[in-house]
With several copies, the nearest count.
Chain A
C-alpha cells in the first residue's frame, strides 16, 4: 500500500509536468494539436499507454493495482487518453499468440501510439456469421496474395497496418481454414472507401483487396488456426468496450443527468417530470450495475471462478444502456432533439441527435445482441443446442 501511494505521487508529478490545463477536458475531438502530440509522446515514453505490458515491448510494466492507480489519476484530471484499436485488441492478442519476432516488431509501435492499426474482420456477406468469411490469401513464395473485401473497418483510411482474417485453407470446414494475418495498408492493391452511416458521419470504411500482399511470417497464431485467435480477440473487445464506456462517452460533456435537469426543469428540488425522473434513476442504476458487474467479472475471471464469456453480458447490456441513455436525452429534448445541421439548433443539440443515431450501432458491432445472447445461452447457461 505504501508503494502504491508512492506510485500515485509519481503519477501526479508526471501529470503536473506533462499535462497542460487546456488538455484537462477529457477526450474531445477539438483538442489543440501540438500540446496533444507532446502529451501523447510523454505518456508513450513512460509506456503508460499500455501500462500492463512488459517494459521490453514498450509497456509500463505495471501490476494491476498500479494500473488502477494510473487510470484513476488520469481520469481524475480528465486527461485525454485515446484508446486506439491497436492497443485494445491487437496488443492483447499479440501478447498471447504472437511469436517473439512479431511482438518485438509490432508492440513498441503500438505502445508508442506511433503505428495505427485497423481491424479487418467483417465482410459484406458475413455479418454475424463471421466464420463464413470469403476474403482469401493464397501462398506465393514467402508471401500471401490477398483478395476480397472487408467492411466496418474503422480508421482504415488512416491506418498503417491491418490485422485481417483471411481464408488460407479452402477445403477445410468454415472454422478451420481461417488465419489472422498482418500487413501494411500503404501498398498497391488496397482501396479504402468510407461508409456513410445514418448519423451522417463515416466512422467505418470498406476495404477492397486486389492482389494485396502480406509476408507469410506475419500470420499470428497457427496457420489455419485464426478462428481461435479471433474469438479471443472478440472477447477482449467485449470486455474492454463495456468496461471502458466512461472513456468512450467522453467525460467533459454534459452528463445525461445535467441534460435532463436542464431540459425538463426542477420543481421543489425534484425533476419536474415524474416519469422521466424514474427513467433517469433507472438508467443511473443500470449504469452502476453494469460497472460493478464488469468489475466483478474481471475479479472472478482472474480468480478462475468464471469463463470469459461473461463479457457477453456486459456487451449487450452496455448496448442497452447506451441506447437507453440516448433515447432518454431525445425524449427530454422533444423537438429540440430533431435537428440535423445549420441554424436553429445549438451545436450540442445537433451532436446529441447524431450520437443518438450512432448509438443504434452498439447492439450490432462487435457481435450483435443476438450473438451475445446465443453465447450466454450456450457457454454460460449450458443450454442444449
Chain B
C-alpha cells in the first residue's frame, strides 16, 4: 500500500500542474461563469487534455489508453481541483465512461472508450432523483419491450448533462425505490427521441442538467450492468472527487496561509495571533488526514483490495470534513474581503461545499461505512 506518489506519478503531477497553471488559472473558470458560457467549459482545453493522454490514462491500450490506474486519474483531478478547472473529468471519465469500462459490454467499450480517450465523446451519468444523495432511491422505470427497454422518469443534478453526447442512466427493472436489487444501467444517446435535457446552473459554476426520459427506447445491446456495477462506479468516482477536493482544499488553505502571512492588523501580521495559528494547525491536520485516506482508497482500487467501498466512504467522509472546515475558515480568516466575489477564495468555498454534497455528504458515508463494518 503506497501512501506516497511514485516517481512517475510525481512527474505526471508536476506536468499537470504546470499545464494548468499556465493554461487554466482560476480566472478561466471565472470568465466562463461570468459570460454564462453555453458550454460551461472549454472544448479546446478538453482536446489538449486528450492530447496529453489524460482522458485515456486508465483505459487499456486497445481503447487508446495508457493502462494506468485510478491513482493517475486522481493525480490529474487533484491538480484540476487546485485551479477549479470546469472540464467534465468527473462526469465523463469517472462516471460515464467508467460505467462502460467496468461493464462487460465489450462491443460498447470498443465503440465508446477510444472516442472518450480522444476527447471526442462526452458522457453523462444520470442517477439522482432526490435532493439528498441516495443512489438506490430510483423511480425511473425501464420496462421490457420487444427489442429492449423503454425508460421513463426524470433525473436531476446530472453533471455536465447539457453537453453530453451519450448518457448512462440508472433505471429500475424491478423492485421499489430504495431497493438495491432491480437497478440496471443503460447507455442512451442524448439525441434519442424522448430525452429532454434542461441545463441547470449550479452555485459553484459547475454545469448540470435535469434529464427527462419520456418513454425512451433503448436496445438490449445498450445494457451495462446492475447495482454491483453502480456501486463500483460510484466508489471510484467518489475517490476521484475526494482527490479533487484535496486539491481544492489544499489551494484554499495555502491562499489562506498567504493571507495570514501578509495581512496586518493592530500593527502585526494576523498570522501571529495564536487563535488563528491553532485553527490553521487544525485545518492542516484535517487536510493531511483527507490526503492519507484518499491515497489509501486509490491503492485499494488499484490493488483490487476487498475494502474498496469502505475506503471510498472513509475518504469522502474525511474530505468533506476537511472541505467544510477549510472552506469556512478560508472565508472567516480572509475577513470582509473574503466575502466579496472579487476574490477567488469564495469560488473555492462554493466548490468545496458543492463537492461535499455531491456523491454523498458525511452523514451518508458514515452510515455506509457503519453498514460495511456490520453495525
Direct A–B touching, Cβ under 8 Å: yes
Q: Is A198 an interface residue (CB 8 A)?
A: yes
In B270-307, the 8 Å CB interface with A consists of: 271-278, 280-282, 284-285, 288-293, 295-296
B357 touching A334 by the CB < 8 A rule?
Answer: yes
B332 close to A364 (CB less than 8 A) = yes
Does B261 lie within 8 Å of A384, measured CB to CB? yes
Judged by a CB distance under 8 angstroms, whether A296 is at the interface is: yes
Q: What B residues does A147 contact at CB under 8 A?
A: none
Q: Given A296-B4, A335-B131, are A127 and B265 also a contact pair (CB < 8 Å)?
A: yes
A303 touching B4 in the complex, CB below 8 Å, given contacts A122-B336, A197-B339, A380-B284: yes
Name the contact of A289 in the complex, choosing from B314, B362, B373, B374 (C-beta under 8 A).
Answer: B314
B31 within 8 A of A: no
Whether the pair A277, B367 counts as a contact (CB closer than 8 A) is yes
Structural contact, B295 and A296, CB atoms closer than 8 A: yes
The residue from B261, B314, B337 contacting A285, defined by CB atoms under 8 A apart: B314
**A278-294, CB under 8 A of B: which get 1 and which 0?**
10111011101110110
Cα A122 to Cα B366 in complex, Å, equals: 41
Q: How would you classify the secondary structure of chain A's contact residues: helix, strand, loop or mixed?
A: helix
**B200, B205, B269: the one within 8 Å of A384 (CB):** B269
Q: Are A343 and B198 in contact (CB under 8 A)?
A: yes
A360 to B350, CA, bound (A): 12
A364-B132 in contact (CB<8A): no
Indicate if the CB atoms of B332 and A278 lie closer than 8 Å.
Answer: no
18 CB < 8 A contacts A-B? A196-B340, A198-B341, A198-B346, A281-B317, A281-B367, A281-B370, A296-B4, A313-B288, A316-B285, A334-B133, A334-B361, A344-B156, A344-B201, A368-B335, A369-B332, A381-B281, A384-B271, A384-B272
B97: min CB distance to chain A, Å: 22
Q: How big is the A interface, by class? A: 35 or more
| Chain A nearest CB, measured from B225 CB (Å) | 24
Q: Which residues of B contact A299 (CB under 8 A)?
A: 3-4
B335 contacts A364, CB within 8 Å? yes
The reply to whether B370 and A152 form a contact with Cβ atoms under 8 Å apart is: no
Closest to A279 in B: B366
**Cβ of A36 under 8 Å from chain B:** no
Given A198-B339, A271-B375, 15 other A-B residues pairs in contact with their CB atoms under 8 A: A129-B265, A260-B375, A271-B370, A281-B369, A285-B369, A293-B289, A293-B291, A313-B285, A337-B357, A342-B200, A360-B332, A373-B282, A376-B285, A377-B277, A377-B278
Assess A289 versus B265: contact at CB under 8 Å? Given A127-B335, A335-B133: no
Report the number of A-B residue pairs with Cβ-Cβ less than 8 Å. Answer: 245
**Please, which residues of chain B bring their CB within 8 A of the CB of A196?**
340-342
Q: Are B201 and A342 in contact (CB under 8 A)?
A: yes
Q: A381 near B284 (CB under 8 angstroms)?
A: yes
Knowing A293-B292, A381-B281, the reply to whether A195 touches B340 (Cβ < 8 A) is yes
With a cutoff of 8 Å between Cβ atoms, the chain B residues found around residue A370 in the complex are: 273, 275-276, 278
Interface residues of B in 153-188 (CB under 8 A from A): 156-157
Interface string of A371-382 (1 = CB under 8 A from B): 011101110111
Per-position contact with B for A162-190: 1 when CB-CB < 8 Å, else 0?
Answer: 00000000000000000000000000000
* Cβ-based interface call for A11 (8 A): no
State whether B130 touches A334 (Cβ < 8 A). yes
Complex Cα gap A317–B128 (Å) = 36
Q: Residue B331 at the A interface, CB < 8 A?
A: yes
